Amino acid sequence: MALADNEVETTGLVGWIDRRFPLTSTWKKHVSEYYAPKNFNFWYFFGSLALLVLVLQIVTGIFLVMNYKPDATLAFASVEYIMREVPWGWLIRYLHSTGASMFFVVVYLHMFRGLIYGSYRKPRELVWIFGCAIFLCLMAEAFFGYLLPWGQMSFWGAQVIVNLFSAIPFIGPDLSLWIRGDYVVSDVTLNRFFAFHVIAIPLVLIGLVVAHLVALHEVGSNNPDGIEIKAKKDANGIPIDGIPFHPYYSVHDFMGVCVFLFIFAAIVFFAPEMGGYFLEANNFVPANPLQTPPEIAPVWYFTAFYAMLRATTDPFKIVLMVVIGLLGVFALLRARGKWRLGLPVLAIAVIVFMALTESKFWGVVVMGTAVVSLFFLPWLDRSPVKSIRYRPLFHKVFYGIFVFAFLLLGYLGTRPPSPAATLIAQICALVYFAFFLGMPFWTPRGRFKQPPERVRFKSH
């Protein structure tokens, strides 16, 4: 008797499971019969590496929790106990701390690949939104976990970041008090951060990762040429330019995993602190509420956004007001319909509100907007082609300037503040936002190359 498309003929233990749970059909749909473009390159390693590091963080986190004490009087000592007394505890701790930084390395590179190849464009808008939500969730997870060692930098970093919320008009002081659970960072704060870091955020993170993968497999993977391989199929409904993920890309990704683990192991065994970028020297000193460290700065993966926050001074707020005013005038001249008057009125309202509020609050707004802007990429980019391969040269220059500005912001966020550094950070922040705000105008312009009808692929 013929089997339906959704049925699987299996026997033995697998057959017994399949009659009660879609094991084989799920394996086929998402792995062995999931057809991916045959022209994946180096940039497509980082999605699977991010999943690998997520599993590593969960496993090492479980072992750390077995000996960690979420108590203000015992937290630092429990970390020292893990490092010195627990068998292989030092390795577990360094795997977890290094894994946190490497997680952001692979996620940043994964997002950069999506940016240059247009992986956020139709029909993958939801895939991109889930990915940005994962990035936000990852930032929250790192922030909550950063307090747990209860070192000097952990304590004062949390104190500074939570105090930023007090700048929000009307609700700020009550909001920061609610987040801390006390008037200062204390045992209550440590306990609630521990709960968020160990239980709440990981559950949300895992759910978003599953949603990200399901959405990806529903619409199919993008490729360096930006061509939809599902548009051309053979008589059996198989994409002509696709190959099964397993065994081809499972072996391909295994090679990437081996190289990554080699680099990861080198860092763990020879430079787990990475010169203070992965683990700061001040975090090896117990938290002291009565002694402020000379320099308070976040971990490197937050420094670009921290530099924007620090750069939002009173003069820079005036610059932002002028920019918003110019955008309102532009909307009045170019917008049509209900937006013609609505946008200028909104711009005036924002300018008035900015004049009445302190720059500290707008630093928080700038920092948050820098992350939220990523969610709108699918609708800001209006280029007729997806991949950077077929875009004009000035598009590539703009992408390069954007990346350079972001990296420079990241560097400035690690340095002590100075007038020159603040000015450079302000310029880089304007470049960052100009990249996104200008997208609807510069992305459709220029001479575009015609993408090929089928993906370009050379067998090895």
* pLDDT per residue as tens digits for the range 63-72: 999 999 999 9
Q: pLDDT tens across 240-267, in order?
A: 989 999 888 999 899 999 999 999 999 9
Mean pLDDT for the stretch of residues 15-19: 88
Is the model more confident about 182 or about 115? 115
Determine the pLDDT at residue 456.
Answer: 80
Distance CA 101, CA 303 (A): 13
Q: pLDDT tens across 336-348, in order?
A: 766 667 778 888 8
Determine the pLDDT at residue 433.
Answer: 95
User: Mean pLDDT across the chain, nearest whole number?
Assistant: 91
Mean pLDDT for the stretch of residues 358-373: 92
Q: Summarize the annotated binding site for a ubiquinone as residue ranges.
A: 217
Q: Summarize the annotated binding site as residue ranges.
A: 96, 110, 197, 212, 217
Is the model more confident about 58 or about 295? 58
Determine the pLDDT at residue 2.
Answer: 45
- pLDDT at 115 exceeding the cut of 90: yes
Distance CA 177, CA 174 (A): 5
- pLDDT at 6 exceeding the cut of 60: no
Q: Say which residues have a Cβ less than 8 Å from residue 114's Cβ, sequence separation at least 6.
A: 120, 128, 131, 222
Phi, psi of 437 (to 5 degrees): -65, -30
Q: Where in the chain is the domain with CATH 1.20.810.10?
A: 25-275, 300-441
Q: What percent of the chain has pLDDT over 70?
A: 96
Q: Summarize the annotated binding site for heme b as residue ranges.
A: 96, 110, 197, 212
Architecture of domain 300-441: Up-down Bundle (1.20)
Q: Say which residues have a Cβ less than 8 Å from residue 402's Cβ, sequence separation at least 6.
A: 431, 432, 435
- The CATH topology of domain 25-275 is Cytochrome Bc1 Complex; Chain C (1.20.810)
Determine the pLDDT at residue 457.
Answer: 74
- pLDDT at 165 exceeding the cut of 90: no
Is the model more confident about 8 or about 230? 230
Determine the pLDDT at residue 1.
Answer: 43
